[in-house]
Amino acid sequence: MVRKGTCYWCAHDFSVDQKGPVPTYCSVECKGAMRIAKRGRVLRLRKKCHGCGMSVALFPKNTQRCDPCRIERRKQMGMYVPEIVTKACGRCGVDYVTSRPTGKYCSRRCGQKANSTRKRHRRRAAYSEPYELGDIFARDGWVCQLCHLPVSRSTSFPNRESASVDHIVPTSLGGDDTPMNVQLAHLGCNSAKGARAAGSQLRLVG
């Protein structure tokens, strides 16, 4: 008996000829992509928009329409329409669309990770100054300061090519958690460096 289902990750329809419940995912690749998304940050899932019918990235729960369709529907109903802006996440540096101009992170997980990282560095460092990772990435021109190769904005943790912040003098060796002592680096380059001091001088702010 052939049965039809919709993939929870890519939102594509598929058919199966097997006993038991219909699988949640259409392929092993989609199932693996969902696992990576859950281990990393909270990503939007590919779902069908109830307005335009296209396969778009939507949040897993309580979202049935894409952003343009949702805004148009609110206008038709005479409801308040918030201003939509595009910002860079303060932790992973990935561009995201939001209606909160004061927001700093693309997801709650990124915010929690950034706060825990900042607290750990403050406990280790002799001196700490507030800074945003997005500002550090823009200052370094999205170029890894260890291998001097470009850093992709579309990749995220745990990809070794994703962006990460590296302390020139590690906080475990007495380095400060300040903009002058941090630089952009690939996650793989940062992990390979470890808790060793870099040979370059402190960064200049600006």
Q: Domain coordinates of the chain in residue numbers?
A: 3-83, 113-193
Q: Which helix (H) or strand (E) holds 189?
A: helix 187-193
- Give the class (CATH, top level) of 113-193: mainly alpha
What is the pTM (predicted TM-score) of this model?
Answer: 0.50
Q: Which of the four pLDDT bands, split at 50, 70 and 90, describes residue 143? A: very high
Measured from the Cβ of residue 43, the count of other Cβ atoms closer than 10 Å reads: 20
Higher pLDDT, 184 or 59: 184
Highest mean pLDDT among 15-19, 46-50, 178-182: 178-182
Residue-level pLDDT at 128: 75
Residue 44: predicted pLDDT: 55
Are 166 and 198 in contact, with CB atoms under 8 Å apart?
A: yes
* pLDDT surpasses 50 at 175: yes
Residue 125 in this model has a pLDDT that exceeds 70? no
Residue 109: pLDDT above 70? Answer: yes
Residues 27-81: tens digit of each pLDDT: 877 777 666 666 544 455 566 777 787 766 655 555 677 767 877 877 888 877 7
In the block, tokens 């800074």 appear at 131
For 83-105, how does the pLDDT look when each residue is reduced to its tens digit (9 = 90+)?
Answer: 777 777 777 767 777 777 777 88
pLDDT digits (tens, 9 = 90+) for 188-201: 998 888 877 765 44
Residue 158, SS3? coil
Residue 63, token pair as written in the block: 């979202």
